[in-house]
Structure 1
Amino acid sequence: MKLIERYIAREISLPFMVVILILIGLFASFSSARLLAGAVTETLGIAALLKLVFLKTLIALEVLIPIALYISVIIGLGRLNKDQELNVIRSVGVSGTRIVLTVLTVAIPVGIASGMLSSYVRPWAYAESYILDAQAEAELNTNRFQAGRFYGSEKTGRVVYVRSKSDVDQGMQNIFHYIKKPDSSEIVIARQARQIQPTAEELRPHIQLSEGVIYQLTNAASIDEVIQFENMIYFIDNDFVLNYRRKAAATRTLWESDQPRDIAELQWRISRPLATILLALIAVTFIRTTPRHDKTDRTYLIAALIFAAYYNLTGLAKTWVEQGVVGSMPGVWWLYLLMFVVLGIYALISKRRRFPRPS
């Protein structure tokens, strides 16, 4: 890469590093505040909270990285334009096409990194964050219980009482569990209980009860059932699990699926590099070589509106595939093809206006 191209690439890369750090800091702060407001620390503790914020930030990087590159291209080229450096660069024989190719030398590696994060890091982060979320949401999470207190839920009709609890392994002793169902009631009394950590394969939170009795009380039956057990695994039903299985699934698993929702998730992941490069090219169109008519504030406003419209369209394209409105082909690709065609036509029409040769 020649000196001028390196200079332009540096003017884009430096703002990119600053903007991505700012966005990560803002997102992590927002996530921390939201989790603290939900009393997650009381259930999981500070260490788990920090891990959960880290995982959610990793998930968000697939969106934060394209945004940061989009902003950095506008900032970097905008400064060169405002200081008339683009005119000087053009005067030494650097064409507008070479400037666009220089932007691509930054956008392509960033896009590849975004695609790798989306295809491999994001599913892992979703699986790990789900495990922590499930522990926090679980009504029978042993970490949230204190000895000698009743815990109830009006939503599920569940009541739990723990007589004593170990501070070492968080194991519970002498547990009473009651749940009201539409046509029956169930009482579980156990001598001991301990939380079983869910895995990425199982995902559902559950606890192990030992030395207990189950009383099943039904409204229709004349004789109630009594079941004694030595050990029993008690699963906690949670709709939260189903929403995350697809996002936590491996990319190879989605590739072998023919379900519309799996196809939409797969195409979303592998389209991240294209989305990143496309946003960088859109950002180039905001640059003007007429510094006397500087309209920076207006440019940023229009750029923000275009990004919002673009991001909503990508979400719409994915939703259409999920709902079967659009098949796996063209899938979400029609949007990116359309945008590249529009950019190509725009480049042909405004080629001489964008980077005119100095008179």
Structure 2
Amino acid sequence: MRTLDRYIFREVTLTWIAVTAVLLVILLSNQLARVLSQAAANDFPRGVVLSLIALTSAGYLTVIVPIGFFLAIMLALGRLYHESEMTAIQSCGVGPAGLFRPIAILGAIIAALLVWLSFWAIPEAMARARSIRMEALQEAQFGALEPGRFRTFGGGNIVFYAERVDDQGILHNVNIFVDRTQEEAGHAGKGAGAPADGGRMEVWVADRAEQRGVGQAEQTFVLFDGERYEGVPGSGEFRIMRFAEGGIPLRMAAPGGASRKAEMKPTRELLQSHSAEDRAELQWRMSTPLLALILMLLAVPLSRLRPRQSRFGRIGIAILVYFVYSQLLAAARTWVESDVAPRFAGLWWVHAIALCVSLWLLVRENPPGRTRTAAVTA
């Protein structure tokens, strides 16, 4: 590359690294608070917390990298304008279009990075984070029970208590309280017998019990030599059953449904899918590198400053442009997911508008008939 190209490439690259790092730290602080709150509520171990922070933060890169690149070009070229270096560059015949050579090289590298992140790395990281979170939740909720403490399951519908546990892991003097209110509400109106003054309650009392399937999505409390009291509180009607062995199955539902979200699906699976949600996710992944490249085209004409104007004078405009661009993309994605927008339009109309605006600004700042001299070379 020419000396000028290397100079601009270095300035933009260093600024991009600095801006991206700052934005990443800001978003990491928000993600850290969210993961720590979830970990405290569910007693996640420290290793799980660190893994979740690392994996979930990777999803921010597709947002941070394009805006960081956009602001880096604005700041780097703004400094050249502010310190009159751009005047010297333009006196050598290098216009706004001539600045694209070094910036386009960095843009190609960043676009390739975004393709790898969007199509492969981030979906795999999100799926892995979901798996770790599920395992941690199962271990926290369905882990080994401690004697002398009440534990709740099923959203508080089941309360478990054991007086002590022996060396073989057998629980002694066990009490389990089961609230069937939700089940009764679901069956209300389907026939006579549904209680009008409350749901059915069960109380299990046993001499000893075992916990089977610890750490799995489904486990069972197996009780031995006990009694079961069943009835409606306040009605005075209870049924008492004695048993030699009884079991209470517990299952933890997967968050967000059993099926994976589109963000976690591999790209090859999205290519074979015909659902609107998967189609929107695929177009969103394609849009990420396009977003970075079109923002690069917008940044060069937008970074031009008037004499004695502050080098940060156009940053507000840059943030507004990115906000409008990203919000239009988000709205278009929602329309594709809802199958409202025409399939041929997808998210592409947003990129087409931004591309036309950027080309118009470039032509306005650098008319085709302008005389150019040879640029400064090494």
* TM-score calculated relative to the size of structure 1: 0.80
Equivalence for 2:151 = 151
**Of 311, 334, 349, which aligns to 1:334?**
349
For the residues of structure 2 that align with 1:77 and 1:356, how far apart are their CA atoms? 22
Give the superposition deviation at 1:217: 6.6
Equivalence for 2:288 = 272
Aligned residue runs from structure 1 range 233-244, under 5 A: 234-241=250-257
Contact in 2 for aligned 1:263/1:328 (Cα 8 Å): no
Equivalence for 1:209 = 220
* Cα separation, partners in 2 of 1:37 and 1:223, compared to 1, 3 Å: closer
* Cα separation, partners in 2 of 1:45 and 1:239, compared to 1, 3 Å: closer
Match of 1:311, as an amino acid? S
**Of 278, 299, 323, which aligns to 2:338?**
323
For the residues of structure 1 that align with 2:171 and 2:211, how far apart are their CA atoms? 4
Match of 1:313, as an amino acid? L
For the residues of structure 2 that align with 1:298 and 1:104, how far apart are their CA atoms? 24
Equivalence for 1:116 = 116
Structure with higher RCO (Cα < 8 A, 6+ apart): 2
Matched, 1:306 2:321: yes
Gaps of 5+ in 2: 185-199, 233-237, 374-378
Contact in 2 for aligned 1:40/1:136 (Cα 8 Å): no
Equivalence for 1:249 = 265
Contact in 1 for aligned 2:43/2:140 (Cα 8 Å): no
Q: After superposition, give the CA deviation of every residue in 1:104-149 in whole Å (9 maximum; x if it has no partner).
A: 2111210121121111111111112212333555697235964321
Match of 1:33, as an amino acid? A
Match of 1:53, as an amino acid? I
Give the superposition deviation at 1:50: 0.9
| Deviation larger for 112-121 or 85-94 | 85-94
**Of 207, 210, 220, which aligns to 1:191?**
210
Contact in 2 for aligned 1:130/1:244 (Cα 8 Å): no
* TM-score calculated relative to the size of structure 2: 0.77
Equivalence for 1:131 = 131
Matched, 1:26 2:26: yes
Give the superposition deviation at 1:225: 10
Give the superposition deviation at 1:231: 9.7
Q: After superposition, give the CA deviation of every residue in 1:58-95 in whole Å (9 maximum; x if it has no partner).
A: 11111111121111111111111112222222223334
For the residue of structure 2 that corresponds to 1:148, the secondary structure is coil
Identical positions, percent: 24
| Deviation larger for 63-72 or 223-232 | 223-232
Give the superposition deviation at 1:258: 0.6
Give the superposition deviation at 1:339: 1.1
The RMSD of aligned alpha carbons is 3.8
Match of 2:309, as an amino acid? D
* Cα separation, partners in 2 of 1:172 and 1:255, compared to 1, 3 Å: farther
* Cα separation, partners in 2 of 1:50 and 1:350, compared to 1, 3 Å: same
For the residue of structure 2 that corresponds to 1:209, the secondary structure is strand
Equivalence for 1:345 = 360
Contact in 1 for aligned 2:154/2:252 (Cα 8 Å): no
Aligned length: 343
Match of 1:57, as an amino acid? S
Give the superposition deviation at 1:227: 10
For the residue of structure 2 that corresponds to 1:182, the secondary structure is helix
Larger Rg: 2
Contact in 2 for aligned 1:267/1:332 (Cα 8 Å): yes
| Deviation larger for 123-132 or 85-94 | 85-94
